Each structure stands twice: as C-alpha cells, then as structure tokens.
C-alpha cells in the first residue's frame, strides 16, 4: 500500500460546480486498490514545497474568487513549476484554476491577473458565456483514444501557444475558445480543462491515469497499471453525459 500525497490548492475559494467531488473520486479509487490518499489544503498562508506532494489539484471559481487568490498563487509560481515540471508531480486544474495556471487571465470586468506560467497559454474573458455539455476525444497515451464528457460554463477564451498540446479535440461543445476545436491543455503530467460536473465521476479512466502518474512520482518509477474496477455506474454516467453533448449537434 502506498500513500498518495495530494496538495489541494485554495479549496475554500476555488470550489464551484461541486468540483471538490474530484478529490472524493481520487480517494475512493485509490482506496479500492489498497492505497491511501493524504490530502493537504494549501491556502493563502501555506507554502508549496517541491517533492512534498505527488498530485496537485486546483478547482474552479468565479472571477471574484480568482482575483482573491491570483496574486498569492503567482507568488508561489516557481515552487509549483519546480514541483510539477521539474519534479514530475501530477496536476489537475479545472476552469478557474486552469486559467490561473497560464501566464495571465483578464477577467470580464478588465481585471488583469498574473498567472503561474506553468501552462503555455493565456486567457481573456469574452462577452458571451460558453455553456453546456461537452465531449472530447483524448489521446494521453500513444494510440489509445478515449472520450471525456463534462459540463462547461466559462466566458474565458483560452489561447494555447503554438505547438502546445491540448487535452483533447472537441467532438461537441465549445472548448477553449469556441473556435480552435481544442479543449484544455496537457504538459507532461499536468492537465488543465474547463470540464466541470465534477469531471472525474463520469470519466474514471482519467482519474486512474492521474493516480498512476502520482504513484510514479511517489515511487520514482514508471506509472503502474492499476487493477480494473467494476465501473458500470461510472460508465453509465459517462454515456448519459456524452449523449447530452452529442445532442447539441457538434461544436458551436
């Protein structure tokens, strides 16, 4: 049995659309395989120490909450970059957290927030919100294509740098900007996405991928192949969400 150490960034501020449920999914799927999840809240007064955590999680929030934490998070940018990019920890960032991990985010009312600069992107809020069920096609492992289903609700238009890797291709929904046909961003073991809902209960394969990356960081080895779980309910949740997305009639 291994202990997977999770650093949950600003849970008191960035927890919209039940995104805290992603932590619950990590905990249960780890426990079912004999691993323990040790979750530490990293708030305004807490330092990020490279090597201390195997997996970082940052959820979503509205512009007000993002503005409250943006300066504090930007001041911790180098330790977080060292932990994830340099040290190989896994990371999942959702919506508001995803936006703040880029270089900058300009909010709907013109608030200019410095980002962490971990992910190769910038975000500017537009006048129209992009809302609804969304379906992606992803290939996190070469030759293995899977789908992600979730719910998006954001005004941000996120532009990836040339050559940056998106999390997935939009099958139905808006994605990063409603134009590029891509959603989210991936850099090594770090993933950013607009998918809420929360994301992981209906996409257990992604939870397992992140847990395997976290275990690889913990042991210093390769990501292990996790024993399969009876995911009938999770698969049904995915099918329902994917069906709603497909009913939208493709990318808007």
The string of pLDDT tens digits covering residues 42-70 is 999 999 999 999 999 999 988 899 999 99
As annotated, the active-site residues are 95, 196
The percentage of residues in the chain with a pLDDT greater than 90, rounded to a whole number, is 91
pLDDT surpassing 80 at residue 252: no
Whole-number mean pLDDT of the chain? 96
pLDDT tens-digit map of 172-197: 999 999 999 999 999 999 999 999 98
pTM above 0.85, yes or no: yes
pLDDT surpassing 80 at residue 251: no
Instruction: Kindly state the average pLDDT of the residues 221-246.
Output: 97
Any idea which fold 3-246 has?
Answer: Rossmann fold (3.40.50)
Tell me the domain boundaries of the chain. Answer: 3-246
pLDDT band at residue 248 using 50, 70 and 90 as cut-offs: confident
Each as own residue / partner, the long-range contacts of residues 204-208 (CB below 8 Å, 24 or more positions apart, any chain) are 204/25, 204/29, 204/229, 204/231, 204/234, 205/146, 206/138, 206/146, 206/148, 207/22, 207/25, 207/26, 207/29, 208/29
Predicted local confidence at residue 250, as pLDDT = 58
């Amino acid at each position: 049995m291994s202990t997977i150490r999770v650093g949950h960034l600003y849970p008191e501020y960035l927890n919209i659309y039940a995104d805290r449920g992603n932590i619950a999914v990590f905990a249960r799927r780890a426990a079912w395989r004999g691993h323990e999840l040790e979750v530490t809240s990293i708030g305004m007064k807490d330092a990020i120490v490279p090597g201390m955590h195997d997996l970082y999680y940052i959820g979503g929030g509205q512009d007000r909450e993002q503005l409250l934490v943006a300066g504090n998070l930007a001041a911790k940018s180098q330790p977080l970059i060292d932990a994830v990019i340099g040290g190989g920890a896994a990371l999942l960032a959702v919506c508001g957290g995803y936006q703040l991990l880029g270089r900058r985010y300009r909010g709907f009312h013109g608030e200019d927030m410095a980002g962490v600069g971990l992910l190769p992107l910038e975000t500017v809020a537009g006048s129209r919100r992009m809302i609804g069920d969304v379906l992606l096609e992803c290939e996190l492992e070469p030759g293995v294509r899977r789908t992600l289903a979730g719910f998006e609700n954001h005004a941000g238009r996120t532009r990836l740098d040339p050559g940056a890797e998106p999390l997935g291709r939009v099958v139905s929904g808006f994605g990063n900007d409603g134009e590029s046909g891509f959603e989210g961003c991936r850099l090594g073991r770090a993933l950013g996405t607009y998918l809420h809902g929360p994301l992981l209960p209906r996409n257990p394969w992604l939870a397992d991928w992140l847990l395997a990356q976290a275990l690889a960081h913990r042991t210093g080895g390769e990501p292990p192949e996790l024993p399969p779980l009876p995911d009938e309910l999770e698969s049904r949740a995915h099918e329902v969400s994917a069906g709603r997305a497909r009913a939208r009639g493709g990318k808007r």
